[in-house]
Amino acid sequence: MTSAATLASSPPESRPAAPPPKVAARLLAALLLAASVPTLLALNQPPSATLLNQCLAVALWGGVAVASPPGRLARGLGPLLAALGVVAAGVAVSSGWGGLPLSLALLALGLLAGTALMVITGADAAQGPRAAPAFAALAAGLLLAGLLGAAVAAVQVFKPGWTDGQWIAHSGLAGRAVGNLRQPNHLGSLLLWALVAAVALHELRWLPRAALWAVALPLVLAIELTASRTGAVGLGGLLLWALLDRRLSPTARWWLAATPLLYAAAYLTMGWYGEFSQHALGAGARLAAEGGLGELANPAESPNSRLNIWHNTLDLIKAQPWTGVGFGEFNFAWTLTAFPTRPTAFFDHTHNLLLQLAVELGLPAAALVTGLLGWAGWRSGVQAHRATGDLGVIARAGSVLVLIAGLHSLLEYPLWYAYFLLPAGLAWGFVLGLPKVPATPPHRSDPSRPSRPALGLTAGALMVAAGVFALLDYQHAVVIYAPTAGSASLAERITRGQRSMLFGHHADYAAATNTATPASTALGFARAPHALLDTRLMMAWAQHLAERGDADSLDRARWLAQRLREFRNADAAAFFAPCLGGAVQAFPCQAPLRVHDWREFIEPRAAVAALAQGAGQPPNLPSAPSR
């Protein structure tokens, strides 16, 4: 009879086929649904294109905790949970003593709490006999999401007329796939996760060799169709995994090594097909649109390159190195600070996680968070090196999933989306929660510690309820931008929307840029700029400041107009038209009398509270003390 030790050490090809170990069907179903469905939903409601996906992700990943409620806090999670705690403290400080609206703070705190629960849930599942089948279910969900995402990509590129926005999202980038997440980089990362999941399933004996090779071509072709540089570079990372991980089976190593070659073949094939069809498709479409390598070839010719926004970010860090600008306040501080060579796009993130932490939390807190994440990463590496057999597969595949999300976060901000953040947390928890000694039977560590699954069940149920509540609360914003028959007037819808606990900032934007009651409008200008400043809001805000009548507000209006001018946005042409006609008395044409710090634009706490009370709203923004 084959021993367990021999079976664990032998390659997958030589192991006897056997059904997966028994595990609760509800856990398998919960993981399969949570890992796949949120990334496949095409239906959306304005004003956010992916808010429904995120609400669904929160509810379904909460369902995973309900299906497998953690009973103990596994050892080894301290650094990762502490990092999440430091960021959460930064959110609280930014809302309590800065300018971050409470609605945005609650959204951030909710996602951080949900991530912590996923870390704990994954670690708990990794310590029992459920580990391998549960991780396989997670991998199966990711693979399913990737394959269906690849199908969506093919329709968007080859049959764009079939996209309806309900089942398959429209692509706003000609010749490129964006998936139902509507971002090529997001689809690229999802496809990379699917490739890693396929390897894990093969190594865990859930995916035969023939099926492994069968899924390679559609996944790699879809990465080419996204024209995502992040996705292409990620394939190089998979090649590195194949070269470094000697414990992978020969099939898995050859398969991983072949993915960059398949990408090259897909690129050449799509180039030929593009010539035949007279349309640039996939990566060729991006090269045609950017005139070569785009920002990589000459950053100076690409004003919206990451190098330019990173340069601005470093200047902001130098200006406030110790405390930062406050969590969620990068766009506010960056927009209201003079940058004559700034990008022309309205960035709300630095497109680099480390810089984002540094500019918003300050260098000391950012260093602490980075150090804690690095400590957790080192522990994950130890686990991946130490674990063998199926636990080794979980440790290495889980680590690669987290690394892909982390590397993507150095160029984008995927972890600000629930459908990436929550599964990344679960995968990291799986790795950190694995038994420290491989020879130990797969029972829970430290059985002397009392198990309290009721707490985990309650937390999971609360997370499900939070996802449902967010979806319902979001309707207060939806009805403003997409009214239905019989809806109240715009002013009434805005007033009601400003009462939303989680999405009041969307109503604030509408109040600031549309006709609303004076109280709602004033409250909107106090809170909306902290969500995202764009051309329309900046013009309306500058006009609002100029109409206050006092000298300080008028000069701040001039400063705001000068910052808008730096964006060189065509939508502001009418705003600055009087300047071309010689109307130098118009405030947009005048230089400010002095330099204004961005903090001067945060409304005093007492003033915001009075505005909220006058509009019949709760004081949603505990902002900075009076100047």
| Segment 385-399, tens digit of pLDDT | 999 999 999 999 999
Q: What pLDDT is stored for residue 14 in this prediction? A: 46
- For the segment 237-267, what is each residue's pLDDT rounded down to a tens digit? 999 999 999 999 999 999 999 999 999 999 9
Has residue 444 got a pLDDT over 50? no
Answer yes or no: are the C-beta atoms of 313 and 320 closer than 8 Å.
no
Label residue 279 by pLDDT band (50, 70, 90): low
Answer yes or no: are the C-beta atoms of 295 and 306 closer than 8 Å.
yes
Q: What pLDDT is stored for residue 236 in this prediction? A: 94
Has residue 442 got a pLDDT over 60? no
Answer yes or no: are the C-beta atoms of 513 and 540 closer than 8 Å.
yes
Q: What pLDDT is stored for residue 80 in this prediction? A: 98
Has residue 347 got a pLDDT over 60? yes
**Whole-number mean pLDDT of the chain?**
88
Output the CA torsion 339→328→90→507 (10° steps). 140
Give per-residue burial for 556-566: e unless 16+ CB within 10 Å, then b: bbbbbbbbbbb
Tokens in use for 230?
Answer: 């992040």
Label residue 288 by pLDDT band (50, 70, 90): low
Span 503-528, average pLDDT:
93
pTM attached to this predicted model: 0.91
DSSP assignments along 481-516, one per residue: HSPPTT---HHHHHHHHTT-TTTHHHHHHHHHHS--
Has residue 292 got a pLDDT over 80? no
Has residue 498 got a pLDDT over 70? yes
Label residue 290 by pLDDT band (50, 70, 90): low
Q: What pLDDT is stored for residue 302 in this prediction? A: 72
Has residue 320 got a pLDDT over 50? yes
CA-to-CA dists, residue 135 to 80, 122, 291, 561, angstroms:
20, 9, 43, 53
Q: Work out whether the CA dihedral 73, 79, 81, 86 comes out positive or negative.
A: positive
- Give the span between the Cα atoms of 353 and 439, in whole angstroms: 38
Span 317-342, average pLDDT:
96
DSSP, collapsed to helix, strand or coil, labels residue 45 as strand
- In this prediction, what percent of the chain has a pLDDT beyond 70? 86
Has residue 109 got a pLDDT over 70? yes
Answer yes or no: are the C-beta atoms of 123 and 74 closer than 8 Å.
yes
